[in-house]
A and B are shown apart, each in its own frame.
Chain A
Amino acid sequence: DIQMTQSPSSLSASVGDRVTITCRASQSISKYLNWYQQKPGKAPKLLIFAASSLQSGVPSRFSGSGSGTDFTLTISSLQPEDFATYYCQQSYSAPRAFGQGTKVEIK
């Protein structure tokens, strides 16, 4: 099974900061990597699919990059509504594993 590892597990940042979250797969998954945002008490929301494609309606300050085993989610200028937990997820093969999550907190 493919394992997904995110780093860091949490971070503190200020409004306006540039934030980068990393996700690493235990084997190559090409570009089959998705990113989700989850706020407390809510279902996850798709942000990025296929490593770098922005889901419709998602602000352009979110971007994704990477291929193979190493991927990055970047928030170019952190906004108050972006404080949440972010998960990566591989869609290369079953089981569809998620990373353990990265909690973005207010500094």
Chain B
Amino acid sequence: QVQLQQWGAGLLKPSETLSLTCTVYGGSFSGYSWSWIRQPPGTGLEWIGEISHSGSTSYNPSLKSRVTVSFDTSKNQFSLKLSSVTAADTAVYYCARLSSGWPKWFDYWGQGTLVTVSS
């Protein structure tokens, strides 16, 4: 059974860098793409970006200048960094696995991490 366990700092000040990590248990890490999605309080879901098994990345244009997604295959982990955060970045952040093949869907999700940006 695939499980995604995520962690990271939950309270940041404006201009700091958000950093989250997601560890994959119970399944293969290679061969899949891995993604980050966020949900501001009381609103809908926003795709942030993803990294493929080959290391190629794709980001939401609205966040591209501030986002980096990376992975460490030796630890079955992938990470999100979002720089220069503001209050508008306050959200629950989810890590998720994209299904293999094409087309793709988010088939496994982490538990979510609430990140609050406040001075």
Contact = CB atoms under 8 A, between A and B. Distances in A.
B110 A43 contact: yes
Contacts of A89: 45, 105-106
B61 A43 contact: no
Given A1-B61, A44-B109, A96 B103 contact: no
Chain B's interface size range is 20 to 34
B106 A36 contact: yes
A50 B103 contact: yes
Contacts, number: 56
Main secondary structure on A side of the interface with B: loop
B99 A49 contact: yes
Interface residues of A, number: 25
B9 to A, nearest CB: 19
Contacts of B99: 49
B110 to A, nearest CB: 7
Given A1-B61, A95-B60, A46 B106 contact: yes
A34 B116 CA distance: 29
Nearest to A51: B103
> 4 tightest A-B contacts by CB?
A43-B109, A34-B105, A98-B45, A96-B47
